[in-house]
Structure 1
Amino acid sequence: MVKKIGIVSLSSGILGEIFIRHELKIGVERLNKYGIEVEFLPNALKGMEFIKEHPESRAKDLIKAFKDDSIDMILCAIGGEDTYRLLPYLFGNNELKMAVKQKIFLGFSNTTINHLMLNKVGIKTFYGQAFLPDICELSNEMLPYTKRYFEELITTGKIKEVRPSDFWYKEREDFSESAVGVNMKKYENTGFELLCGKSVFKGKILGGCIDSIYDIFDNSRFGDTVSIYKKYNLFPKLEDWKNKILLLETSENRPEPKLYRKMIVALKEYGIFDVLSGVLVGKPQDEIYYDEYKKILLEETAGKDLSVVYNINIGHATPRCIIPFGVEAQVNVDKQVITFSD
């Protein structure tokens, strides 16, 4: 049972801005109702400008959260775009490796890179939710599907299985105080969809937001990502991906099909689709480019002995499940379930 959560801002510092104070208040009150004490790590609320300019402070917060034995769970505030800038402060002198111990770490989006950092030092993590977009949901309650997985994690410390949501929600455009208590519009969901390969397969899962992963291979967004990722060998070697399951989901930027293909081709050229046991693909936000992404995946993985499962409720489309990284998983599309060993 989680008794204390430490909240960190490892990418964007938006959590410290005045215009989202009403959301922060909702989130803290919800966690307190579970009997959970909330601690914001020292730099988590310093705002967007400070966080952007001080990656070393973000890194210190992560180290502190792991070292503090009173913190049972580390929860990321939100994603962002440049958490790769923490690498020199976490790996320059093995700072992260010396600090970590196994505890719950939960985040998604650009936090993908933090998951890869923690994977590198042997820590199992959880992907799929974050404080601001999920716990601070403006409806009167957290979204039921999202809430179910969050409650399972804070009460048991693990996720037993993931099934599809009955519904998906159109993303909010208004996050002001006037939107508090306003429900999101919902639509029927169609469940896990097998695009190719075997309907039953297994392996340990790793991956995340494809936009962030693409920065490992491409300097379009920041001029130094490729060199920094290479310097610290962040992306696992091809042999380390053997028989694993790659999780991919797209950001709120909703990449156009041309860019999406570039992202998939970068992974293809790395050789990853030749060694994986399968790929899990998150539902695109608001189902934008739903069919286009599907077509690209089919075309770029054609001829591979690979299972590709589409429309997982993970990442930037709401609601969100939670997927454990680093534990054995079995995907069964026929039974519409992904089960996890301890």
Structure 2
Amino acid sequence: MDTTINHLMLHKVGLNTFYGQVFLPDICELSQEMHPYTRKYFEELISTGTIKEIAPSDVWYEERKSFAPDQVGKPLIAHPNYGFELLQGYPVFSGKILGGCIDSMYDFFNGERYEDMPILCEKYHLFPDAEDWKGHILLLESSEEKPSPEKYRQSLEYLKERGVFEAVSGVLVGKPMDETYAQEYRQLLIQIINKPDLPVVFNLNFGHSMPRCIIPFGIEAVVDVEAQIIRFTD
């Protein structure tokens, strides 16, 4: 279980939160220093208390396979990044961002991992209803478990059944770790959402893949894929 449920619980009581980063893998990265993209957003939040805008990283990094002492000082393998990718819909849209890890959202509705979780989430209404998603942009990212295309499909179907895609103004999807199943996820997002006018943007640098920015939840955001930027207006 990651922090997604904590964000949704705090949203339920009216508190805004910041999605990412994580102390050990981000601030204590085993390379000689923090990744520059990560450092930029960390320092902005610490020094100003907010994030004004988000742009893509120039690179993405492969997952570190070992955390043994001999890895200290060794950089991660880097690849060129290609920025925000518009899968469908209008390139400019707005709303307050809310969401989290799609693996955890799967557990909200499916008791395979935690038998009592769907019961508790339903009892306490921890997942926002369709009305609450209005005026929001859905954020989705996948974990280090790299969910199979079939699990990803079922997760999207759960969200669709809850009326999420009919309510939101757009969808932001994080880069999968090591780009595993990236093409399959793209196809499933278009196929399952099945709403061509709903903006869906892929390959954002947040969530479990490296490097990652910090996303304010509950703050009005304007997404401009053509300009390759997300601005927060509050």
- Normalised TM-score (structure 2): 0.98
Partner of 1:225: 117
Mapping of 1:111-190 within 5 angstroms?
A: 111-190=3-82
Among residues 274, 287, 311, which one is paired with 2:179 in the alignment?
287
Partner of 1:329: 221
Distance 1:227 1:259 in 2: 20
Among residues 308, 319, 330, which one is paired with 2:200 in the alignment?
308
Asked if the contact 1:146/1:321 (under 8 Å) is kept, the reply is yes
* C-alpha displacement of 1:304: 5.0
Among residues 100, 113, 116, which one is paired with 1:208 in the alignment?
100
Q: Which amino acid aligns with 2:128?
A: P
Asked if the contact 2:129/2:162 (under 8 Å) is kept, the reply is no
Identity over aligned residues, as a percent? 59
Distance 1:225 1:263 in 2: 15
* C-alpha displacement of 1:121: 1.2
Distance 2:20 2:203 in 1: 14
Asked if the contact 1:112/1:207 (under 8 Å) is kept, the reply is yes
| Alignment RMSD (CA, Å) | 0.8
For the residue of structure 2 that corresponds to 1:215, the secondary structure is helix
* C-alpha displacement of 1:305: 3.4
Asked if the contact 2:156/2:193 (under 8 Å) is kept, the reply is no
Asked if the contact 2:89/2:200 (under 8 Å) is kept, the reply is yes
* C-alpha displacement of 1:133: 1.3
Q: Which amino acid aligns with 1:252?
A: E
Partner of 1:98: none
Mapping of 1:28-67 within 5 angstroms?
A: none
Distance 1:269 1:122 in 2: 25
Asked if the contact 2:106/2:158 (under 8 Å) is kept, the reply is yes
Distance 1:118 1:171 in 2: 30
Partner of 1:277: 169
Distance 1:304 1:174 in 2: 41
Deviation string, structure 1 residues 164-216 (Cα, Å, up to 9, x no partner): 00000001011111111000010000000001111000000000101111111
For the residue of structure 1 that corresponds to 2:202, the secondary structure is strand
Unaligned runs of 5+ in 1: 1-80, 82-109
Partner of 2:83: 191
Unaligned runs of 5+ in 2: none
Distance 1:116 1:334 in 2: 30
Distance 1:258 1:239 in 2: 28
C-alpha change, 1:238 and 1:304, in structure 2 (3 Å) is: farther
- Normalised TM-score (structure 1): 0.67
* C-alpha displacement of 1:301: 1.6
Distance 1:292 1:140 in 2: 35
The structure with higher relative contact order (CA 8 Å, sep 6+) is 2
Distance 1:130 1:120 in 2: 23
1:256 and 2:173 aligned: no
Distance 1:269 1:290 in 2: 23
Deviation string, structure 1 residues 275-296 (Cα, Å, up to 9, x no partner): 1100000000000001010000
* C-alpha displacement of 1:269: 1.2
Among residues 172, 190, 212, which one is paired with 1:320 in the alignment?
212
Which has more radius of gyration?
1
Asked if the contact 1:273/1:304 (under 8 Å) is kept, the reply is no
Asked if the contact 1:197/1:306 (under 8 Å) is kept, the reply is yes
Q: How many residues align?
A: 234
Asked if the contact 1:250/1:284 (under 8 Å) is kept, the reply is yes
* C-alpha displacement of 1:303: 3.0
Distance 2:184 2:178 in 1: 14
For the residue of structure 1 that corresponds to 2:187, the secondary structure is helix
For the residue of structure 2 that corresponds to 1:183, the secondary structure is coil
